[in-house]
Amino acid sequence: MQIFTCPSCGARDEREFHFSGELGKVRPNTTGEVNEEEWATYLHTQGNELGAVREVWMHMTCAELFVMERDSVTMEVLSTTPLRKDVS
Ligand SMILES: [Zn+2]
């Protein structure tokens, strides 16, 4: 078991989190017709980089979406940063 840190809730069991995608992966514009090859690439292609990667994760308990930077080789979590902008 691995411990991930939610920016809102703190350290939690990895089973409470859901991988949402690689950071920077851009969804094709779906307001018009989408090329099948472009759509398939978006859905099924992952970078699978070795080393430090930045990914979007969700803590399913509180629905917080955040960026997790982790080492894909050692699985060490380097940082977690919320995606939301604080309004104050
Ligand atoms: Zn949370």
| Total domains, the chain | 1
Average pLDDT for residues 16-37, to the nearest whole number? 90
- How many angstroms separate the CA atoms of 81 and 68, rounded? 7
Establish if 29 belongs to a structural domain.
Answer: no
CA of 68 to the centre of ligand 1 (A): 13
Per the structure, the complete domain to which residue 82 belongs is given by 1-24+52-88
- How many angstroms separate the CA atoms of 69 and 61, rounded? 20
Establish if 9 belongs to a structural domain.
Answer: yes
Look up the pTM and report it. 0.81
Establish if 39 belongs to a structural domain.
Answer: no
CA of 11 to the centre of ligand 1 (A): 9
Secondary structure (3-state) at 76: coil
CA of 34 to the centre of ligand 1 (A): 35
9: left (phi over 0), alpha (psi -120 to 50) or beta: alpha
CA of 18 to the centre of ligand 1 (A): 11
CATH number at residue 19: 3.30.2270.10
Establish if 41 belongs to a structural domain.
Answer: no
Q: What is the pLDDT of residues 2-17, one digit of tens each?
A: 999 999 999 999 999 9
Residue with the larger pLDDT of the pair 64 and 84: 64
Establish if 32 belongs to a structural domain.
Answer: no
Establish if 37 belongs to a structural domain.
Answer: no
